[in-house]
Amino acid sequence: MTRLPLLLIAALICGARLNASSPDSSAHAPAKEAEAHGHPSVEKSTAAESAPESKSHATATPEPTHASSDHAPSTKSEAAGSHEVGAEEIQSLLRIGETKTAQGDFDSAEIAYRQVLAAKATPAQDRDALLGMARMYRRKNQFTRAAAVYEKILKEFPADPQLPVVFLELGRTQRALGAYRLAITRFYSVINSTLKLPDEGTDLYRQLARTAQFEVAETYFVAGQYEEAAQYFSRLKLLDLTPDDQAKAHFKSAYALYMGGDYEKATTSLRAFLELHSKKSDAPEARYLLSLSLRRLGRNQESLTAALDLLKAEQARTSEDPKRWAYWQRKTGNQLANEFYEQGDSTSALAIYLSLAKLSEEPLWRLPVLYQIGLCYERLRSEKQAREFFETVARESKVQASQAQPRPEFAELASMANWRLQHLDWEASTDHQINTFFQQKTPAAEPTRTVSTEVPAPQP
């Protein structure tokens, strides 16, 4: 085959955006990958997979992940008509594949990797091309194809130093497909494979083994086996981990206890976590879970205190990650305040709503909260305060609804607030009529008769 110059290959990849010569991806529905909230990472960001945080814990029926070999690209030993490409050009193609994957240009990345596999590359370069292609498929949410490529690497390179990384990524891929048992097996393979590797890179292999242990615990968590997850995360706390990893294991152990319904132990574990790691990124979510756990135990006053503590967090605690704190403050406040209100505890609900109103001046956030405050005052028979809040909501919502591009929520809020004001007027009028009616029907008091007790004088 005629050798293609590097500049021509790059032009084809970057300019023409040729379609990759792979089977149609529609044959396999992509699954949403449920990665951990965060655990030790051993991959560079350019090669890392897209792993959004997920709070979905529904179990899924494990599916076989050994895809047909049609999905796995051929290495040079199977490629027909291989041609010579310089070592420098091959390294450039590998860098192009990595860069295009990071940019989300998956078709161009696949072309680059297939060019390497079709060339007379070294075994290490073939391995890098396959590994890059597998990661590209994961980023593309084509987990079945990714698993097939990882399996091919294991078959073609059984003694490669990169095997722990391959096992780790394959386990994450199988977990995304819902094959939890297979995933756990792969994570244990990471630990076993690190024991057989040379002493060089001991620190990296140790980190890989710890990451695999995190992944085992996380897989139990995602599979809904919370008791096992809590046990595995608790064991991780005993290892010689970094402070961040220690905090992560502690938090996930408490989270698993909460998800498993053991609210007493969850409360104890969450309080211990907050005492040790009050400034960690998981602290706001821990306070949210603590408030919910106390609520589930019927300890409403403690639950309210925990919620208010989160809502009144000092600026120093929120400045490092303001978006995360704001998210959990709003989520905690909304859920707890609504629960208190629906169960008739208007005083507690009012305390939370008043704190929520201070979190943001954004009309779309503030006005609905002010409306809820008005409802609480109305329930508490504080007509004057209720009327003030409803009038504010009606007035400001009307202004927002008159903007050039109004949000429909403001018109609805104005309508609801006006209806509450009319209801208050009706209640006041009805109370007045009832009081007047009963005053008119009350009979006048009869004059008091005095009876003389004097004895008449005897007649002569």
Q: Residue 200: what pLDDT? A: 60
Per-residue pLDDT band for 203 (boundaries 50, 70, 90) equals: confident
364-391 core/surface letters (b: 16 or more CB in 10 A; e: else) = eebbbbbbbbbbbbbeeeeeeebbebbe
Mean pLDDT of the chain: 80
Q: Residue 238: what pLDDT? A: 78
Of 3-12, 59-68, 294-303, the one with minimum mean pLDDT is 59-68
Cα 95-100-102 angle, rounded to 5 deg: 100
Q: How far apart, in whole angstroms, are the C-alpha atoms of residue 337 and residue 249?
A: 30
pTM check: above 0.95: no
Encoded tokens for 458: 């005897």
On the question of pLDDT at 2 being above 80, the answer is no
Q: Are the beta carbons of 296 and 341 closer than 8 angstroms?
A: no
User: pLDDT tens, 352-379?
Assistant: 999 999 888 899 899 999 999 999 999 9
- Of 298, 303, 250, the C-alpha closest to 274 is 250
Q: Are the beta carbons of 308 and 355 closer than 8 angstroms?
A: yes
DSSP structural state of residue 78: T
On the question of pLDDT at 25 being above 80, the answer is no
On the question of pLDDT at 7 being above 90, the answer is no
- Of 137, 139, 138, 117, the C-alpha closest to 127 is 117
Encoded tokens for 2: 């005629």
Of 24-38, 105-119, 198-212, 233-247, the one with minimum mean pLDDT is 24-38
DSSP structural state of residue 145: H
CB atoms within 10 A of CB 61: 7
- Amino acid identity of residue 200, one-letter, is E
Across the range 409-428, mean pLDDT stands at 90
User: pLDDT tens, 232-271?
Assistant: 999 887 777 888 889 999 999 999 999 999 999 999 999 9
Higher confidence at residue 42 or residue 141?
Answer: 141
Encoded tokens for 284: 């706001």
Q: Are the beta carbons of 328 and 286 closer than 8 angstroms?
A: no
On the question of pLDDT at 381 being above 50, the answer is yes
Encoded tokens for 357: 């109103």
Query: What backbone torsions phi and psi does residue 53 show, to the nearest 5 degrees?
Result: -70, 140
Higher confidence at residue 75 or residue 61?
Answer: 75
Which residue's entry shows tokens 């008449």?
456
Q: Residue 204: what pLDDT? A: 81
